[in-house]
Amino acid sequence: MIELKDIKKKFGRKNVLKGVSFTANKGEITCLIGINGSGKTTIMNAIMNLTPVHDGEILIDGAKLNKTSYEKITFIPDAITMIPSMTISEAMQFMTDYYDSWNQERADEILGFFKLEKDDKISSLSKGNTSKINLLLGLALDVDYLLMDEPFSGIDMFTREQIADIFTSHLVEDRGVIVTTHEIGDIEHLIDKAILLEDGVVLHEFDTEEKRETEGKSVVDVMREVYVQ
């Protein structure tokens, strides 16, 4: 389980996270929802220790981020992180050399699923294929938790459907996922928990299935209630 306890973060004098708490379980998809600037990426960066927080605590399976817990988690950003002059094949070789948890069999499976060509250069990839490579590089690591920042951003409908299929596949099963998206329609039916953020605070969080069963409300219905008053 990933636990955030009262996380506070400032950039300069701006309070960007004003005491954010939530948990994300293994085997579940937790979705961070909020308008631009509400703090979603900052939360991801804080979990990965890419940005220091000023207050609060982040625990991965009960432990603070250390070498062991760091190996349980990976961050899939919405920008390419590999050297642009590398081919996909070279990027995969880099991952093999660098990460003990790299699973080449799984990487080949995802490569085939997304119909990507190993010899293509990273710099030549379209926006959609860049997202697919980011997903491949993250999903092929044998880690328990995946953080995905905007995996659907700027991507055509058919590619979004392909990416959404990944969420219901064995590639994600049993892992804990924290995902941010503005395209909630794409994964509304797939997420287990929704965290609604505004201006650095959690306005509302809920179990999506329970909400559907007890109140007959979709994630979008709840978003309308919370954000549109």
Ligand X SMILES: Nc1ncnc2c1ncn2[C@@H]1O[C@H](COP(=O)(O)OP(=O)(O)OP(=O)(O)O)[C@@H](O)[C@H]1O
Give, rounded to a whole angstrom, the gap between the first and last alpha carbons of the chain. 33
User: What is d(CA 215, CA 8) in angstroms, rounded to the nearest whole number?
Assistant: 33
User: What is d(CA 50, CA 45) in angstroms, rounded to the nearest whole number?
Assistant: 5
Contact range with ligand X by CB under 6 A, out of 39-47, 62-70, 158-166, 218-226: 39-47
Among positions 2, 29, 39, 223, the unique one binding ligand X when judged by CB under 6 A: 39
User: What is d(CA 123, CA 197) in angstroms, rounded to the nearest whole number?
Assistant: 34
Nearer to ligand X, 144 or 193 (CB): 193
Contact range with ligand X by CB under 6 A, out of 38-46, 96-104, 135-143, 160-168: 38-46
Contact range with ligand X by CB under 6 A, out of 35-43, 65-73, 82-90, 94-102: 35-43
Is 34 a residue that touches ligand X (CB under 6 A)? yes
Nearer to ligand X, 12 or 112 (CB): 12
Among positions 30, 38, 129, 208, the unique one binding ligand X when judged by CB under 6 A: 38
Is 16 a residue that touches ligand X (CB under 6 A)? yes
Among positions 37, 55, 117, 213, the unique one binding ligand X when judged by CB under 6 A: 37
Q: Among residues 202, 48, 94, which one has the least CA distance to residue 193?
A: 202
Among positions 2, 29, 33, 40, the unique one binding ligand X when judged by CB under 6 A: 40
Nearer to ligand X, 16 or 155 (CB): 16
Contact range with ligand X by CB under 6 A, out of 29-37, 65-73, 124-132, 170-178: 29-37
Nearer to ligand X, 39 or 128 (CB): 39
Is 42 a residue that touches ligand X (CB under 6 A)? yes
Is 36 a residue that touches ligand X (CB under 6 A)? yes
Binding-site ranges for ligand X (CB under 6 A): 11, 16, 34, 36-42
